[in-house]
Amino acid sequence: MTGSVLIVTWDGGGNVGPAIALGQRLRQRGNDVRLMGWESLRSRTAAAGLKFSTYLSVPPWPADLAHEDGWAAIEAALGGEATTEDIRRVAAADPPDLIVYDCMMTAADAAVRELDVRSVALVHVLYQPFVHEWGNDVLKTDVLTMLDRADLVLATSPPGFDFPAPIPANTHYVGAITAPLSAGATALDGLDLRQLREPGDPWVLISLGTTLQRQHVAVPVILEALAELPVRVLLTTADLPLLNGLALPKNALRRGFAPHEQLLPYVELVVCHGGLSTVSTALAFGVPMVCLPQGREQPLNANRLTQVGAGITLGASAGLDAIRAAASEALVSPAVRAAAQGFAHPNPGARAADLVEKLLA
């Protein structure tokens, strides 16, 4: 049975990929899908083939402003009455059978209750710390009660990765939600994917997120550390203005935004900030990691990665020798690679789509 789905999200970084990918999977199965997000997501949503609506009450986010430096505006966009009214407006114009909403958007929870429509909460951070440690303080609400109201909760950490504790009956660990792979794709954002398939030194992917943090400090050090190793480096930077003019070593390529699921089949190591979307997607392809958490909830993810043995965690300001040593170890360690491959999934995102379609039916 097909239906109409409204996905309500915001431009928070790692939350965007799972929301859009879930929309693509549901659309591929014949459902009518609309994504509601900040204006900055319009082109990315259109490229995914989804309908798009935005919030009239949310002004464009400045490209040079970190979320932490404008948190009052973020709070209003996530939980304000004006945002709730925007969601009601879009739902009234094109009534959905089901609403999928970002777990940090309390305004969406309020709209769902008023609209009396079935709902799915998309938890794109580690579920247990979000519910029991930091979520209540950040969102100024009882997170567990909010999630209990949803008909379905999808947690995007892989089964067995989160801190072990019971979960409610409506909650499922579905792992990374990625877009369906494009069979035979040869190009991506100006990158010839055939180049990644050529024999040679192993590829290392560097990705420190799509929203402004301290990439301009960390990325040059990582590049210099990897320049002396027998590896080929692919750096993805989105459109972060502070990385304009970045010098690359001879063994490195740079591209803007690129879906990791298109790159990871050819990659032997990911060096990242520890965002859950990056971590879960790398694990879905069995790729080990070196994490340098830059803030937010990233230390929780990186520490958990180390605990399960699938990667190595360093400090945000780790130096050349530490990064070089960690990358060398992660590339050759059978134990680290085996732990990462233990989380691999042949079709990341399919289970999430299955559960949503079951609720639609």
The residue whose two tokens read 């990462």 is: 340
Instruction: Indicate whether 182 belongs to any domain.
Output: no
Percent share of the chain, pLDDT over 70: 97
For residue 1, name the pLDDT band (cuts at 50, 70, 90). low
Contacts with 117 (C-beta within 8 Å, 6 or more apart), sequence order: 91, 96, 97, 98, 99
Residue 174's pLDDT is: 98
* Segment 313-327 mean pLDDT: 97
The pTM is what? 0.95
Residue pLDDT, tens place only, 265-290 = 999 999 999 999 999 999 999 999 99
Render 89-123 in DSSP notation, one character per residue.
Answer: HHHHHS--SEEEEETT-HHHHHHHHHHT-EEEEEE
Collapse the DSSP code of 53 into the 3-class scheme (helix H, G, I; strand E, B; otherwise coil) and give the result: strand
Same domain flag for 103 and 84: yes
The residue whose two tokens read 């709209």 is: 111
Residue pLDDT, tens place only, 244-259 = 888 999 999 998 888 8
Residue 189's pLDDT is: 66
Same domain flag for 26 and 161: yes
CATH number at residue 50: 3.40.50.2000
Would the pLDDT of 183 be above 70? no
From 180, 211, 4, 210, select the one nearest 100 (Cα to Cα).
4
Provide the domain limits for residue 243.
187-341
Same domain flag for 146 and 263: no
Instruction: Indicate whether 61 belongs to any domain.
Output: yes
Would the pLDDT of 241 be above 80? no
| C-alpha to C-alpha distance for 237 and 213, rounded to whole angstroms | 12
* Segment 156-168 mean pLDDT: 97
Q: Counting runs of H as helices and runs of E as strands, what totals does the chain give?
A: 16, 15
Collapse the DSSP code of 310 into the 3-class scheme (helix H, G, I; strand E, B; otherwise coil) and give the result: coil
Please, are residues 86 and 55 in contact by the beta-carbon 8 Å criterion?
yes
Same domain flag for 292 and 242: yes
Collapse the DSSP code of 308 into the 3-class scheme (helix H, G, I; strand E, B; otherwise coil) and give the result: coil
As a whole number, the mean pLDDT across the chain is: 94
Would the pLDDT of 187 be above 70? no
Burial label for 250, CB within 10 Å (0-12, 13-18, 19+), is exposed
Instruction: Indicate whether 197 belongs to any domain.
Output: yes
* Segment 63-75 mean pLDDT: 92
Most confident of 35-44, 62-71, 192-201: 35-44
| C-alpha to C-alpha distance for 267 and 226, rounded to whole angstroms | 14
Same domain flag for 23 and 161: yes
| C-alpha to C-alpha distance for 257 and 43, rounded to whole angstroms | 12
Instruction: Indicate whether 139 belongs to any domain.
Output: yes
Number of domains in the chain: 2
Residue 257's pLDDT is: 82
Residue 239's pLDDT is: 77
Same domain flag for 257 and 356: no
Same domain flag for 260 and 280: yes
CA 251 vs. chain centroid, Å, equals: 27
Cα atoms found within 13 Å of the Cα of residue 132, Cβ hemisphere only: 11
DSSP-assigned beta bridge partners for residue 312 = 290
Same domain flag for 161 and 232: no
The residue whose two tokens read 């790159």 is: 263
Residue 191's pLDDT is: 79
Same domain flag for 157 and 191: no
Same domain flag for 63 and 26: yes
Instruction: Indicate whether 180 belongs to any domain.
Output: no
Residue 185's pLDDT is: 65
Would the pLDDT of 240 be above 90? no
Would the pLDDT of 89 be above 90? yes
Same domain flag for 194 and 263: yes
Residue 216's pLDDT is: 87
Please, are residues 120 and 101 in contact by the beta-carbon 8 Å criterion?
yes
- The strand pair at 232-236 and 203-207 is best described as parallel
DSSP-assigned beta bridge partners for residue 269 = 204
Residue 186's pLDDT is: 66
Instruction: Indicate whether 181 belongs to any domain.
Output: no
Would the pLDDT of 130 be above 80? yes
Residue pLDDT, tens place only, 97-112 = 999 999 999 999 999 9
CA 273 vs. chain centroid, Å, equals: 12
Same domain flag for 82 and 216: no
CA 237-187-324 angle, to 5 degrees, is 40
328 vs 212, higher pLDDT: 328
Would the pLDDT of 182 be above 70? no
